[in-house]
Amino acid sequence: MQKSVRYNEGHALYLSVVARKEGTKRGYLSKKTTENSRWAEKYFALYQNVLFYFENDQSARPSGIYLLEGCTCERAPASKVSAISKDAIEKQQYYFMVNFGHDGQKPLEMRTEDELDCNEWVGGIQQASYSGIIIERDILMQRYIHLDQIMETEKVATNQLRTQLEDQDTEIERLKAEITVLNKAKERMQSHQNNQDEEDPDIKKIKMVQSFMRGWLCRRKWKIIVQDYICSPHAESMRKRNHIVFNMVEAETEYVQQLSILVNCFLRPLRMAASSKKPPIRHDDVSSIFLNSETIMFLHEIFHQGLKARIANWPTLVLADLFDILLPMLNIYQEFVRNHQYSLQVLANCKQNRDFDKLLKQYESNAACEGRMLETFLTYPMLQIPRYIRTLHELLAHTPHEHVERKSLEFAKSKLEELSKMIHDEVSDTENIRKNLAIERMIVEGCDILLDTSQTFVRQGELLSLYFMLYQVMLFQFLISLLILIVCGQVLSSIYHPAVNGVFSVRCAWALSH
């Protein structure tokens, strides 16, 4: 049986050297000895969760080591006057005590002459915990992941802006070329007008009248063309298409606002609450409830900015390239929808905690929530992909077959329908297994057949209805057979003797009565 604890003395000496050079707190303190309860001045150095003390600040080896993990430190009242020396009476002393969590280990009593120095030592020892460093590391890691997601989003936005700048540079070059051509045409027109100034005044008047008539005829013809186009089915279809796009932008604005409320009013405050000293909810439960909702918000913020940029270029509305960017990233919805039922179950379990329920009601009372509960905001992403499918279906209904975006919109609609079907199948399978297990629990003696996940839940109801249906079917078959017997009896009565007919009629009457 092991009677002593081994430790690496070389490692301890190395840590003492580091503590003297880079320690959190260093300086002289008076330490109360356990043998004779006398005060001895030592040089102390605090490094992480280890406290070293030396005979003086020039000592190479420490005189002792204290492991501060799990200890408490607090200010202590002054000792009795009878136990204070003359030097202590002349100078004001400030005491503090370190209580260790180990059985049989006496508390460490120390004092200093400066109150500020005493408070700094107490604060440093209270924070000397390896578990606190681990918690701080987890918080920093979460912030790093959040910043990394923001960086990825910014990269995507940067690539889009770079593409837009290149398109604008091309457009600028094209406009410069058109301006050059127009300047040359203007110079030719000016030279032609200068030549016409020398013409006869009557000819000028005739040309002016002809020009006025040609202009009037052209304007009249153009007015008729415009009016015919405004009343045409194509123009009506384009107006409906633009109206659908405007409604889509409004719906996307509202959806981004809902996701922003979900993240800013619920997710981030609950993460901070989970990092408190007495957390009402764990970080794992926060991740299970919200999953990747923050990533969904970043994705739709980029998509919303692209939609607003397209509206700025109205009446030229090009949406296919936005859906080309959005489609590869919509697989995150598959994970969110698959986790939705579980997230609501975890939320219901967490609400049984009174502290969490009180905190959640406080968040839901925010004016931005407009009286809506957290479950409502968690349901909004479930409806987004069907909304996109319905919008694309309406767009295609008002988009001509020769339109430049027709094929791209049809491709986006097909991809969204495939993703929606895949999500629906997964949710249906999960719901089917859940219903089978629920029915299996309702059976008192148990049933192994229902544990087969390949079976599909069809209907649940009372078995008496089935018996009643079988009884009706059997009665109907009996009546048909009896009717056939009566018809056969009538036929036989016309052929054989009336006495036989009488006997047969009596038997049929007896069968009908029974």
**382, 337 Cβ separation under 8 angstroms:** yes
Residue 462 has pLDDT above 60, yes or no: no
pLDDT for the residue 190: 80
Alpha-carbon distances of 56 from 59, 97, 251, rounded to whole Å? 6, 21, 73
pLDDT for the residue 224: 76
Which has the higher per-residue pLDDT, 254 or 477?
Answer: 254
Residue 392 has pLDDT above 70, yes or no: yes
**pLDDT band at residue 454 using 50, 70 and 90 as cut-offs:** low
**pLDDT band at residue 260 using 50, 70 and 90 as cut-offs:** very high
Residue 463 has pLDDT above 50, yes or no: no
Residues in the chain: 514
pLDDT for the residue 501: 46
Give the separation between CA 420 and CA 426, rounded to whole angstroms. 10
CB-count burial class (<10 Å; 0-12, 13-18, 19+) for 377: buried
Strand partners, 64: 53
Tokens 């006398």 sit on residue? 38
Give the separation between CA 327 and CA 415, rounded to whole angstroms. 8
The mean per-residue pLDDT over the stretch 8-36 comes to 81
pLDDT for the residue 503: 45
pLDDT for the residue 264: 92
Identify the helix (H) or strand (E) that includes residue 65: strand 64-67
| Averaged pLDDT score across all residues of the chain | 78
Lowest mean pLDDT among 120-124, 313-317, 319-323: 313-317
The string of pLDDT tens digits covering residues 210-258 is 888 888 888 887 777 777 766 777 677 777 877 888 888 888 899 999 9
What angle (nearest 5°) sits at the alpha carbon of residue 300, between those of residues 294 and 302? 110
Q: How many CA atoms lie within 13 A of 121 on its CB side?
A: 27
Name the strands in the sheet holding 50-54, side by side, starting at the edge strand that comes first in the sequence: 64-67, 50-54, 39-47, 25-32, 108-112, 94-99, 72-76
Q: Which residues have a Cβ under 8 Å from the Cβ of 327 and sit 6 or more positions away?
A: 412, 415, 416
Q: State the distance between the two ends of the chain, measured CA to CA, in whole angstroms.
A: 95
**What percentage of the chain's residues is helix, strand, coil (to nearest 5)?**
70, 10, 25
**92, 113 Cβ separation under 8 angstroms:** yes
**343, 290 Cβ separation under 8 angstroms:** yes
pLDDT for the residue 266: 92
Please count the other Cβ atoms lying within 10 Å of the Cβ belonging to residue 60: 9
Give the separation between CA 163 and CA 151, rounded to whole angstroms. 18
pLDDT for the residue 496: 47
Q: How many CA atoms lie within 13 A of 481 on its CB side?
A: 7
Identify the helix (H) or strand (E) that includes residue 192: helix 130-196
Strand partners, 383: none
Secondary structure class of 53 (helix, strand, coil): strand
Residue 84 has pLDDT above 50, yes or no: no
Please count the other Cβ atoms lying within 10 Å of the Cβ belonging to residue 434: 12
**16, 50 Cβ separation under 8 angstroms:** no
Lowest mean pLDDT among 211-220, 426-435, 490-499: 490-499
Q: In this structure, what are the phi and psi dihedrals at residue 98, rounded to the nearest 5 degrees? A: -110, 115
**Which tokens belong to 348?**
């219901």
**pLDDT band at residue 499 using 50, 70 and 90 as cut-offs:** very low
Percent of the chain residues past pLDDT 90, beyond the cut: 7
Q: Which of 281-290, 329-338, 384-393 has the highest mean pLDDT?
A: 281-290
Residue 294 has pLDDT above 80, yes or no: yes
